[in-house]
Amino acid sequence: MELRLQATTEQGLTDAELKDGLTRLLDAHPAKRVLILPPDYTRYHSKAGFLTNVCYHYYTGRGAVVDILPTLGTHRPMTREEAADMFGDVPFERFFAHNWRKDVETIGEVPAEVLAEISEGLWTEPIAVQVNRMLLDPKYDLILSPGQVVPHEVVGMANHAKNVFVGAGGAEMINKSHMLGAVCGMERAMGRDHSPARDVFDYALEHFFADRPILFLLTVTTAPEGSTRTHGLFCGRERDALEAAISLAQQKNIDFVPRGIQKCVVYLDPSEFHSTWLGNKAVYRTRMAVADGGELVILAPGVETFGEDARVDALIRKYGYRGREYVLDLIQRPACEDLRGNLSAAAHLIHGSSDGRFIVTYAVQKEMRAAVELVGYRSADVGELLRRYDPQKMRYGANTLPDGEEVFFIPNPALGLWIDRERFEREGGAL
């Protein structure tokens, strides 16, 4: 059985509608031992926390054992407080932390010839397919993967097989798939169904995960003024569930602006964004909208570091966000073995740069300003800019300040993709 729910109003589906539809789906999938793979706190507005809670109580209420493995990828594990905020009354003891360096097993390989075809010759190395060992444990007779389909800088539109092979994946798949996306170019992927990385994940799901009892629960959400609205829920194993979700997400999560933005101001909620690894969604999701010579101002009161772990943080501090060609040159140098050994960090450095096309200004706390400038950004005092661009007073989109300054304000970059329609059409773009 599959499930397709789509809201008929802009207010979205109610919790009761989501629970009723999901219950009907779960009735067709009895299980004794269930593994749930939700996103972590960085996807707070995905509605996956609510879906996980419903699934947990549905199965435990019928005597099943339910374990939860948040698909952290390279992110830090969630705290007890974050888990309670996102997942409600699900016991914290049922959560397991994924370690992308230690907890995985290789189950196959995407061959070099497949990668060469996918990338049109830009990538010719094979990629090992790795997943957390819990996903392979035969005691689980059902695996549920709830999460949000939303524009993404590496895969084009997040979720589905990406949740398995990156969120619960290992170092080689994470590193190489991210570098594949960087080499092929973000503009080739973002907001689109098919991309080089998506083709890799589709191949891995078809060839190496076909015998596992997985069911994807895919949401499409927005969060105007911080309140989550669920516009659709698409559930199933096959790719058509993903395609239906992508079609709706392209309508709800992509904003075509009429022309290039000269000054874009993006706010990073400190409860969600504490590193540039996460906060650089502000760069990824706006780069197709900011005009040449324009400025992106990132209000980042909670950003206190760069990487999500010590090793990646050190690489960012060492090499900085200095552009695609710079990074591609670095990874060819024998002296840069540390960066070549962590290609997801190298890809992140590419993604986090404007390649000199526009200015990126990070507004951070005083103690972070010098470090921000050393990695290649301009810095500004976050207190001063929060007073000027008060997130509580600014409205989404175009704003004119009392002194006449015109800015485009985005309250949360994680929930969308912004594109300059004029440039997009001039360059023959199509989703």
Per-residue pLDDT of 299-313, as tens digits, reads 999 999 999 989 999
pLDDT at 225: 77
| 34 within some domain | yes
| 431 within some domain | no
| 94 within some domain | yes
Do 243 and 284 belong to one domain? no
Do 115 and 222 belong to one domain? yes
Mean pLDDT, each 10-residue run in order, the chain (431 residues)? 91 97 97 98 95 98 98 94 97 97 97 96 95 98 97 94 97 94 88 95 97 98 90 96 96 95 97 95 96 98 95 97 94 94 94 96 98 98 98 96 97 93 78 76
| 322 within some domain | yes
Among 252, 272, 294, identify where a domain stops. 252
Q: Where are the alpha helices (DSSP H) in 352-406?
A: 369-374, 382-388
Do 206 and 353 belong to one domain? no
Residue 145: CATH number of its domain: 3.40.50.11440
Q: Are 32 and 60 in contact (CB under 8 A)?
A: no
Q: Are 128 and 343 in contact (CB under 8 A)?
A: no
Q: Which two tokens stand for residue 391?
A: 């997130």
Do 260 and 206 belong to one domain? no
For tokens 């023959």, the residue is 428
Do 109 and 190 belong to one domain? yes
Do 285 and 330 belong to one domain? yes
Instruction: Give the count of alpha carbons within 13 A of 202, CB side only.
Output: 19
Residue 397: CATH number of its domain: 3.90.226.30
Do 298 and 221 belong to one domain? no
Do 210 and 104 belong to one domain? yes
Among 217, 252, 287, identify where a domain stops. 252
The torsion defined by the Cα of 305, 311, 314 and 319, in degrees rounded to 10, comes to: -120
Do 293 and 204 belong to one domain? no
pLDDT at 185: 87
**If you ran DSSP here, which 8-state letter would residue 163 be given?**
I
Do 299 and 166 belong to one domain? no
Domain count, the chain: 2
* Cβ neighbours of residue 36 closer than 8 Å, sequence gap 6 or more: 52, 55, 56, 66, 67, 68, 69, 143, 144, 145, 146
Do 7 and 85 belong to one domain? yes
Q: Are 266 and 298 in contact (CB under 8 A)?
A: yes
| 189 within some domain | yes
| 110 within some domain | yes
Among 216, 236, 252, identify where a domain stops. 252
Domain that holds residue 408: 256-426
Do 8 and 124 belong to one domain? yes
pLDDT at 431: 76
| 358 within some domain | yes
